[in-house]
């Protein structure tokens, strides 16, 4: 399939030479700065001008503010899933996680089927098929399952191990020896900045490029440079800050440090923003500012609670889990404008296809549409997609299994086991406080019909199959543990202490798997959402 793609690239290159729509020197560059778990209202750029709470009153992202002034802010931008792995696949391939068959983190059914996405057309593939002179790079957190260098990226930093997810949570200098990062490189933010600047300096203005920088920040465990933490200690207190945030560092609890010390969170985001600023400056220096799309967004909704004014957050299907910051600047993109048209990250593949001047037809089974009309005409324009609405299929075994559709201003949520439904007008009530299911049954039925048709079309995963795959996986884990225990007993050669340790270990494993089974059975009872 890779060879097939290369042939297609060659054919398309020849074709482009025959009928040049976009000259090689005019091909735009693309940069995506992809943040992990950044909430819709976490930056200092209001995602909705009419809602002051759609920006943080504490965190500072001045470089993102500059990007927003130069370009557009999308108030209704969506991640493809409420968690990392499905979003990271979806953004690459222009298809919903449901269609790709990978819908939640550790999708046991996809793992059981040993699905691979190497043959899918990726963001990197569409620009290279437009012009083989494009050079493509991916730095940072991967997508799990397949390494980024197997889906069309020329340069990646997944070089020192077989990990398909980059560097776990960005905790190590090197995966091979598990060497910890120095304090001046938290979440590998300095490493990512270095890689991205080297790449821009090498290729900017010489070859068209696409670079995706996938941050490990701001995912847990949080980490930040001490000097930046001190900067935020001195700034005016934001409304979500608590007294405990201002304790000396050695008195901050470990759990707070890992997931919700807001001084550290702001400091971490500050460095993400500095990295964006460095990229913007490097692009400008190479003379490519007016020829480069820079997109800043997040792979799912916010991991911190409260999550601005949105309901829920990471890992659930309320707006807090799905709505993300989205800022873009680039050639032809309107300047200093907020756009309220609903867009999704699975739109980026057809968008790149369009702007790069790719003359091949897009695959027919895509979910996204080119964002060029809204980039150029804002609220007056419409995105043409092959499918209606945004469908989120989430047949998860460790959370309530729910499918969601957003169609127009309405959003229907339906539980797979109980059939419980909720309906919101997220155009006006994006806080999702008013469940309209009793008031607007016809609207709910209309959305459900579109949703069901889509699920049938993509042969969507069935939650009962997911449960079965989970139990089969736990059986496999258990058999593996028993086998490992047997070997340890053999190796112990009668040593009572070693035997006791091995027995204890096995006992713990078996208890854990039983607990996992119990949790799964409880979820099968149909907890509300
Ligand atoms: Ca994430």
Rounded distance from Cα 362 to ligand 1 centre (Å): 28
Q: Report the alpha-carbon angle 462-466-471, nearest 5.
A: 150
At 44-53, the pLDDT tens digits run 999 999 999 9
At 480-520, the pLDDT tens digits run 999 999 999 999 999 999 999 999 999 999 999 999 999 99
Rounded distance from Cα 182 to ligand 1 centre (Å): 23
What pLDDT band is residue 1 in, cutting at 50, 70 and 90? very low
Rounded distance from Cα 281 to ligand 1 centre (Å): 27
- For every residue of 475-528, DSSP letters joined together read HHHHHHHHHHHHHHHHHHTT-HHHHHHHHHHHHHHHHHHHHHHHHHHHHHT---
Neighbours of 477 (CB within 10 A): 15
Rounded distance from Cα 36 to ligand 1 centre (Å): 4
Rounded distance from Cα 133 to ligand 1 centre (Å): 32
Rounded distance from Cα 301 to ligand 1 centre (Å): 8
Rounded distance from Cα 84 to ligand 1 centre (Å): 4
Rounded distance from Cα 37 to ligand 1 centre (Å): 4
At 213-239, the pLDDT tens digits run 999 999 999 999 999 999 999 999 999
Rounded distance from Cα 356 to ligand 1 centre (Å): 28
Rounded distance from Cα 22 to ligand 1 centre (Å): 35
CATH topology of domain 393-457: Arylsulfatase, C-terminal domain (3.30.1120)
Rounded distance from Cα 167 to ligand 1 centre (Å): 14
pLDDT, mean of residues 295-307: 95
Rounded distance from Cα 83 to ligand 1 centre (Å): 5
What pLDDT band is residue 20 in, cutting at 50, 70 and 90? very low
Rounded distance from Cα 345 to ligand 1 centre (Å): 14
User: What pLDDT, on the 0 to 100 scale, is given for residue 161?
Assistant: 66
Strand boundaries in 3-106, DSSP class E: 29-35, 72-74, 77-78
At 368-392, the pLDDT tens digits run 999 999 999 999 999 999 999 999 9
Residue with tokens 């989205």: 326
Rounded distance from Cα 35 to ligand 1 centre (Å): 8
**Cα dihedral 460, 462, 463, 469 in deg (nearest 10):** -110
- For every residue of 335-358, DSSP letters joined together read SSEEE-S-EEGGGHHHHHHHHHT-
For residues 248 and 233, give the distance between their C-alpha atoms in angstroms, rounded to a whole number: 10
How do the domains of the chain map onto residue ranges? 2-17+28-106+115-363, 393-457, 463-524
Rounded distance from Cα 14 to ligand 1 centre (Å): 40
User: What pLDDT, on the 0 to 100 scale, is given for residue 25?
Assistant: 62
User: Which CATH entry fits the domain spanning 2-17+28-106+115-363: 3.40.50.300, 3.40.720.10, 3.30.750.200, 3.40.350.10?
Assistant: 3.40.720.10
User: What pLDDT, on the 0 to 100 scale, is given for residue 175?
Assistant: 77
Rounded distance from Cα 263 to ligand 1 centre (Å): 20
pLDDT at 59 over 50: yes
């Amino acid at each position: 399939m890779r060879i097939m793609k290369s042939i297609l690239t060659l054919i398309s290159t020849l074709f482009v030479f025959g009928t040049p729509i976009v000259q090689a020197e005019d091909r735009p560059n693309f940069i995506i700065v992809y943040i992990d778990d950044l909430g819709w209202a976490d930056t200092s750029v209001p995602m909705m001008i009419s809602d002051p709470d759609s920006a943080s009153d504490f965190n500072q992202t001045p470089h993102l503010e500059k990007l927003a002034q130069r370009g557009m802010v999308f108030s209704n931008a969506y991640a493809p899933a409420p968690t990392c792995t499905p979003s990271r696949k979806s953004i690459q391939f222009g298809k919903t996680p449901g269609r790709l068959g990978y819908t939640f983190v550790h999708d046991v059914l996809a793992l059981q089927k040993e699905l691979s996405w190497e043959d899918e057309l990726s963001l990197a593939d569409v620009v290279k098929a437009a012009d083989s002179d494009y050079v493509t790079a991916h730095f940072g957190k991967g997508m799990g399952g397949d390494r980024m260098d197997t889906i069309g990226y020329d340069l990646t930093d997944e070089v020192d191990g077989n990990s398909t997810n980059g560097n776990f949570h960005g905790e190590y200098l090197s995966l091979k020896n598990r060497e910890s990062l120095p304090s001046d490189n938290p979440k590998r933010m300095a490493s990512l900045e270095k890689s991205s600047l080297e790449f821009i300096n090498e290729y900017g203005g010489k070859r068209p490029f696409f670079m995706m920088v996938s941050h490990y920040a701001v995912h847990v465990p949080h980490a930040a440079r001490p000097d930046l933490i001190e900067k935020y200690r001195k700034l005016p207190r934001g409304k979500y800050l608590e007294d405990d945030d201002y304790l000396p560092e050695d008195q901050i609890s470990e759990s707070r440090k890992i997931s919700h010390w807001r001084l550290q969170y702001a400091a971490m985001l500050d460095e993400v923003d500095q990295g964006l600023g460095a990229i913007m400056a490097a692009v400008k220096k190479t003379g490519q500012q007016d020829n480069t799309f820079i997109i800043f967004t997040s792979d799912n909704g916010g991991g911190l609670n409260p999550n601005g004014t949105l309901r829920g957050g990471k890992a659930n299907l309320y707006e807090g889990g799905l709505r993300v910051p989205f800022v873009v600047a680039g050639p032809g993109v309107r300047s200093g404008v907020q756009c309220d048209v609903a867009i999704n990250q699975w739109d980026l593949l057809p968008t790149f296809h369009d702007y790069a001047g790719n003359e091949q037809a897009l695959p027919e089974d895509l979910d996204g549409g080119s964002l060029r009309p809204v980039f150029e005409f804002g609220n007056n324009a419409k995105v043409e997609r092959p499918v209606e609405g945004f469908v989120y299929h989430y047949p998860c075994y460790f959370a309530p299994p729910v499918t969601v559709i957003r169609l127009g201003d309405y959003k229907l949520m339906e539980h797979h086991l109980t059939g419980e439904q909720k309906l919101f007008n997220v155009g006006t009530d994006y806080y999702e406080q008013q469940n309209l299911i009793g008031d607007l049954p016809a609207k709910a039925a209309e959305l459900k019909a579109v949703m069901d048709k889509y699920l049938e079309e993509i042969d969507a995963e069935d939650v009962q199959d997911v449960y079965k795959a989970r139990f089969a996986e736990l059986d496999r884990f258990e058999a593996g543990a028993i086998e490992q225990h047997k070997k340890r007993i053999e190796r112990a050669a009668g040593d009572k202490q070693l035997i006791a340790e091995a027995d204890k270990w096995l006992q713990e494993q078996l208890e854990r798997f039983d607990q996992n089974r119990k949790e799964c059975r409880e979820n099968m009872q149909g907890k509300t959402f």
